[in-house]
Amino acid sequence: MRSDAILMRLLALHPKIIDLSLERMERLLARLGNPERKLPPIIHIAGTNGKGSTLAFMRAMMEAAGLKVHAYVSPHLVRFHERIRISGELIVESDLVALLEECEAANGTEPITFFEITTAAAFLAFARMPADYLLLEVGLGGRLDATNVVTQPAVSVITSIGLDHQQYLGETIEEIAREKAGILKHGCVGVLGANSPEVRNEIERVAAHVGVPLKISGQEWQAYAQHGRVVFQDEDGLLDLPMPALAGLYQIDNAGNAIAALRVLDDERITEYAIAEGLRKVTWPARMQNLGDGLLRNFVTQGTEVWLDGGHNGPAGPVVAQALRDVAKCGPKPVVLIWGMLNTKNPGAFIMNFKGLADEVICLAIPDEVNAISANELADVAKRNGLRCSAAHSIPKALEHACASHPAPRILICGSLYLAGHVLALHSGQEASAVSGAAKR
């Protein structure tokens, strides 16, 4: 694709992949006519985990209400186009090429990160096509993230916060919470999802300083499972809703974030029926996704289940493990993990949660990723955490080994969104973008 060649050039414009700042972004946007000031009403979403799922729930609910919704997410899994969704549809190649070339010409050879210049291209696209709302996901942190040039969001949402990206956001949970809270803007309502008291206290402190009214999970609203249904309750009343289509009870928290944000909007077009339909129809790849028919089925035995999850940090470990236990309620099977991670993460904090749950862990270096942890290093970590493990050289070989060692197993491929991207590309037969999803800042 022509866009791949442009994206590869853009990677070379800054010596660092990640360099949190707003100055370069503001300079480029000014040259482009400040498209960030011409966007539809914005729902800005930050957090360590759950951002993408929360956005997916909101998009599904808004579209069920007949609204036109733009969306911006990162990283991409298979194709870069996944990051920019225009009125419900992925951006088309010709439009993406034109936007990237326009931003490249405006920037010249001045330093700017990949994420900054591609975010500027997304803002141009969103500003030029009318929509009812823009769902805008933060790339990293919040305060200095390239998306944080927006000044008056309709609502700001902060999902669950944990220890991740400490080298950029701070060593303590309070420091990280403070960075995430940087998306809160004076007079704009904020929604805070389920979090620890330390996080909640820090977000409340920042909100009070900035002048932001907060709607906090467990205080102003709550969402929980009851008798096979989801109950959402706030000061405006109670909603009795279907369980979400996304697997894992933790998705109820993300659905609650979405509903709480929509209640703040108070848009009469978004009815209880639309919220229910959104829960039924929501899709979000690589979040406890059961891989159905596709090319990877050629490498497994009959009766084998193959699941895929992109959870990739310490806080995600217990959540993914619990989701796997929830799946096991459908019937017992041998459980095999196929596991790969980046060296920017803490593999022990993730894999420790599967002791006593996984019968075997097959370790794999993420293909074509220079920052991937080797299979042997991962195996050492798994052994230290009391797990039986082995190593494989490819995703197909890992699947074959799992089925040779265990009858009709339940396989979970996990540990990285970049590994998930490779899995989805192989399973669908799609050609992946030349630029990895790891080039995301």
Say what percent of the chain tops pLDDT 90: 88
Q: How much is the average pLDDT of 417-436?
A: 92
Residue 429 has a pLDDT of 95
Does residue 8 carry a pLDDT above 70?
yes
**pLDDT computed for residue 57 by the predictor:** 98
| Structure confidence at residue 437 as a pLDDT band (50, 70, 90) | low
Q: What is the mean pLDDT of residues 18-29?
A: 92
pLDDT at position 441 over 60: no
Q: Once rounded to an integer, what is the mean pLDDT over residues 173-182?
A: 94
Using a pLDDT cut of 70, give the percent of the chain over it: 98
| Average confidence (pLDDT) over 387-405 | 96
Give the pLDDT confidence score for residue 439 in this predicted structure: 52
Cβ proximity of 390 and 381 under 8 Å: no
Q: Is pLDDT above 80 for 167?
A: no
Q: How far is CA 222 from the centre of its chain?
A: 22
Task: Over range 92-109, report the average pLDDT.
Answer: 97
**What pLDDT, on a 0 to 100 scale, did the predictor assign at position 440?**
41
Q: Could you tell me which of 210, 226, 195, 77 has the C-alpha nearest to residue 143? A: 210
Is the pLDDT at 108 greater than 50, yes or no?
Answer: yes
Domains located in the chain, CATH noted: 2-281 (3.40.1190.10), 289-428 (3.90.190.20)
> Averaged over 81-109, what is the pLDDT?
97
Buried-exposed string 33-62: b where 16+ CB fall within 10 A, e elsewhere: eebbeebbebbbbbbbbbbbbbbbbbbbbb
Order of strands across the sheet that contains 237-242: 221-226, 229-234, 237-242
Residue 74 predicted with pLDDT over 90: yes
The secondary structure of residue 430, as a DSSP letter, is P
Over residues 9-32, mean pLDDT: 90
The model's pLDDT over 343-382, given as tens digits with 9 standing for 90+, comes to 989 999 999 999 999 999 999 999 988 889 999 999 999 9
What local confidence, expressed as pLDDT, does residue 165 receive? 72
For residue 438, the model assigns a pLDDT of 60
Q: Are 125 and 36 in contact (CB under 8 A)?
A: no
Q: pTM for the full model? A: 0.93
The confidence score (pLDDT) of residue 64 equals: 98
| Mean pLDDT calculated for residue range 38-60 | 97
User: What is the average pLDDT score of the chain?
Assistant: 94
Pairing mode of beta strands 190-192, 214-216 = parallel
* 198 — pLDDT class (breaks 50, 70, 90): very high
Q: What is the pLDDT of residue 163?
A: 72
Tally helices (H) and strands (E) across the chain.
15, 17
Residues 371-380 have pLDDT tens digits of: 899 999 999 9
pLDDT tens readout for residues 238-293: 999 999 999 888 899 999 999 999 999 999 999 999 999 999 999 999 999 999 99
